[in-house]
A and B are shown apart, each in its own frame.
Chain A
Amino acid sequence: MADQKNTNHPQTGHEPDVNANQGDHGHYILPDSVALKTLLALAGLTIITVGLSYVHLGPWNFVVGMIVATIKAALVAGIFMNLKHDDRANAVIFGSGFLFLGIFFCLTAPDALFRGDVYVNGRPLTLPVKGVAKFKKAWEPTPEIVAHGKALFAQNCVTCHGEAGLGNGPAAAALNPKPRNFTADVGWKNGRHPAGVFKTLKEGIAGGGMASFATLPAEDRWSLAHYVISIGPNVVKDTNADLAAVGIADPTKEETGSDETPSIPVNRAMEFIANEEAASGTGSANVKAGVGQSDLSGYDRRLEAHTFAPSL
């Protein structure tokens, strides 16, 4: 092909010198050798991209994959689309497209990824999942409620507090202050008695690693509180004043947690709606009936009544 270069244009010479590759109106003509090298580079990078998918680097797979793709894109835009020798204004124009795309992503991602951290009001969390309270007067410890608390502890707490509640779970190493050791008697933020633990579970500890577990139903939080007290050196009971402090004005009544400020993450609420729509066959949601709602049934209807049509 090389001989065809000069057929009509003696000034577009063979020399690799960039300035020699000028056609009419000073237009840069891509030498065939550069085109071929670019093709080979793109092919090599494609092999790297495919090979990379067989190596497990965790999140770095994505980062490296995108960097390789961007190098390829730069080769295509810079050499094949000739941005390298083009008017600089065109590079600015094209680059601005990616700049605004970046701004779009940076503004959108935090909203979409962290929306679940915003809570809306919702009534049902004082009630158990299946609609009927398993435990009447959940502030009174019974062997059943402690056993229930133990199961919940294994699901929700062991990562930080450890299986034996010694505050030495796998995630504890990264935490400062360290998670509470439940077998120690002193230093409990809200006091070592069930209502104090219940309060901590509801509110979390500001400035500490303890998160709020307000999304757990109140009776589950009571169950956890009783279990946590049970693994300590002695079982401490709440006084009426302790119970009153967490809203149990009359401990003889069977209502749980009347002063609860019910809350639920927005994305959970959206899942409920999606599940309900899918179940009734009216919705446009992706979620099929019966998928992902096994532990949510019973929540949704009350949510709709209390959260999405609040009495004004």
Chain B
Amino acid sequence: MSQPLNTTGVHHHAHHFDSADHEFQASKQGMWIFMVTEVLMIGAIFVGYLIMRARYPEAFHEAHKLLNVKLGALNTAVLILSSYTMVRGVSAAQRGNNKLTIRMLMTTIALALVFCVVKYFEYSHKIHEGTLPGGNYTYAELSMPHVPLFFSFYFIMTGIHAFHVLVGIGLMTWMIKRVKSGEITPEFFTPVELVGFYWHFVDLVWIYLFPLLYLLG
């Protein structure tokens, strides 16, 4: 996002756009198209999961019991709350309240870190028990065919999601820097809003991941 800046640090729309609004709408549409590619990427793995789940219902049912519902629910609450703080941060930027925007972005980052810490505990527990994907599966108390397949899906799906969370933390840190620079104004808040979109999408994916993996397996 190389936004052209003049010497005073105030954003001016790029020369190939008619107006600032035109630029804003184009940027936003680009973000939506990016999110379609995200839907299709994670969606392909969802389809694979659903088909394998339909084919081996017993194995997937037994395997899903090994996940910790409480930690999953905690992370769901954390992500939903972080979506709320993010939306508050964006509306504050739109109203020109940059202080509140920074506070909200920092809260969102803190919640994202809580998510990562919970995920760390879940992963390390699984590595310790040996409930790992494919041939790495060594958990002796449940040796059923296709159970390792469940954990292949679990780690790939939650892994891709966790990667998005980490990227989100980076983007939000970058946004804090840009808000602090005074670049973000009620006339130009595109980057903050688009990072907000990204973060809500991360939440949206988890909204499906949590019941599919933890509750309904």
Contact = CB atoms under 8 A, between A and B. Distances in A.
A62 B149 CA distance: 20
B35 A94 contact: yes
A38 B51 contact: no
Given A90-B29, A93-B36, A46 B94 contact: no
20 contacts: A7-B97, A8-B96, A9-B186, A12-B95, A29-B95, A49-B215, A53-B69, A53-B211, A61-B216, A66-B208, A72-B207, A76-B200, A76-B204, A81-B197, A93-B29, A104-B47, A284-B135, A286-B148, A291-B143, A291-B144
Of A43, A65, A286, most B-chain CB atoms within 10 Å:
A286
B95 A9 contact: yes
Contacts of B187: 24
Contact of B204 (A7, A24, A77): A77
B21 A4 contact: no
Nearest to A109: B51
B211 A113 contact: no
Interface in B85-138: 86-88, 90-92, 94-97, 100, 134-135, 137
Interface stretch (A95-103, A174-182, A247-255, A302-310): A95-103
A112 interface: yes
Interface residues of B, number: 67
Interface of A: 1, 4-9, 12, 23-27, 29-32, 35-36, 38-39, 42-43, 46, 49-50, 52-53, 61-62, 65-66, 68-69, 72-73, 76-77, 80-81, 86-87, 89-90, 93-94, 96-98, 100-101, 104-105, 108-109, 112-113, 284, 286-288, 291-292
Nearest to A98: B39
B190 to A, nearest CB: 10
Contacts of B208: 66, 69, 73
Contact of B87 (A26, A30, A73, A291): A30
Contacts, number: 173
A23 B81 contact: no
Interface string B32-69: 11011101100110110011001100000000000001
A100 B216 CA distance: 24
Contacts of B95: 4-9, 12, 23, 29
Contact of A46 (B33, B43, B77, B144): B77
Contacts of B33: 93
A109 B94 CA distance: 45
A15 B76 CA distance: 32
Interface string B197-217: 100110110011011101110
Given A6-B95, A96-B36, 5 more contacts: A7-B95, A25-B20, A30-B91, A62-B216, A73-B207
A10 to B, nearest CB: 10
Contacts of A38: 84, 87
B131 to A, nearest CB: 13
B80 A286 contact: no
